[in-house]
Amino acid sequence: PVIYAITPTYTRTVQKAELTRLANTFRQVPNFHWIVVEDSYTITDLVSSFLSTSGVQHTHLHVSTLLRYKRPRQPRGTEQRNAALRSLRLLRSRNDSGVVFFADDDNTYSLELFEEMRSTRRVSVWPVGLTGGRLYERPLVEKGRVVGWYTGWEAGRLFPIDMAGFAINLQVLLENPQAVFKRQGSKPGMQETDFLKQITRMEDLEPKASNCTRVLVWHTRTEKVNLGNEPKKQLDSVVIEV
Ligand code: UGA
Ligand code: MN
């Protein structure tokens, strides 16, 4: 199966650096398709030219988050992930074999993760490092089945798991065309659980990464860059894209 990785991304000082780190990983994954969805009114030149030389098979989309949702404590990447799901549902059919994964642009992905998720029959799960205020969060597994969760945050959630902690067989998304990311009533941190409950039950989850005992993805977050010494007017004689 092809792995479809869906990445919402937005314009900011670290964007090209983040995308470069991702491309350096994804380029090494066989049978991989990157769906990059910009949070913008149009696709940008920076991302277009980046993707065209990235060496990664890709689809480039855009959808702008409404200004009223561009606030702290609002879910991020919601409309972007839904745009990617819409495109997959339009362009893929019962004959296509694929696994869909949500790959935020700031996380860190091991190559092994992709080989683990490739065998996803319905919905698979695994640990995520550096999240939930803990070194890791993970599904608890007994006799090959998920029976609960080791989580540091909002343990009452039905699926207390980060976006980077699961993958879905493409056919499950085609069979459940109504399953989308919800904004209404969805606080940050509730998107994953609100989405997963539309397509699966805990007892049906497929544990990966040695029964969820290995961390193969990290919820890293990039520090905001200090631009305190940027000159007020252009001092360099050429314009450099960063
Ligand atoms: C956590 C989860 O890991 C995210 O998957 C989830 O979307 C997010 O919470 C949430 O609260 O909605 P966090 O590191 O806080 O992650 O979120 P970001 O990495 O800042 O954003 C998630 C994705 O959305 C990133 O790929 C980012 O580039 C994108 N994004 C963020 C946009 O497209 N537009 C924005 O305005 C902000
Ligand atoms: Mn993040």
* 78-87, 146-155, 214-223, range with the lowest pLDDT: 146-155
Mean pLDDT of the chain: 97
Q: Is 148 inside any structural domain?
A: yes
Task: Identify the nearest ligand to the CA of 131 by its number.
Answer: 1
pLDDT band for 161, please (50, 70, 90 cuts): very high
Number of domain units in the chain: 1
- Is 162 annotated to bind a ligand? Reply is no
Q: Measured in angstroms, how far is the CA atom of residue 233 from the centroid of ligand 1?
A: 32
The answer to whether the annotation marks 236 as part of a ligand binding site is no
Is 234 part of a structural domain of the chain?
no
Please identify, by atom number, the ligand 1 atom nearest to the C-alpha of residue 70.
36
Mutate to test the pocket of ligand 1, among 26, 37, 61, 76 (most ligand atoms within 8 A of CB): 76
Is residue 16 over pLDDT 80?
Answer: yes
Residue 107 counted as domain residue: yes
Digit-coded pLDDT (tens) for 212-224: 999 999 999 999 9
Q: Regarding beta strands 145-150 and 128-131, do their DSSP bridges make them parallel or antiparallel, or are they unpaired?
A: unpaired
Confidence class of residue 105 from pLDDT cuts 50, 70 and 90?
A: very high
Q: Is 221 annotated as a binding residue?
A: yes
CA angle 159, 165, 65 (to 5 degrees): 85
pLDDT band at 186 (very low <50, low <70, confident <90, very high): low
Residue 188 placed within a domain? yes
37: domain CATH number? 3.90.550.10
Indicate whether 237 belongs to any domain. Answer: no
**Structural domain contains residue 22:** yes
Q: Which domain does 181 fall in, by range?
A: 2-218
Task: Say if strands 32-38 and 108-109 run parallel, antiparallel, or are unpaired.
Answer: unpaired
Residue 16 lies in a domain: yes
**Nearest ligand to residue 129 Cα:** 1
- Hunting for tokens 């989850």 — which residue is that? 205
Angle at the Cα of 82 (from 169 to 78), degrees rounded to 5?
115
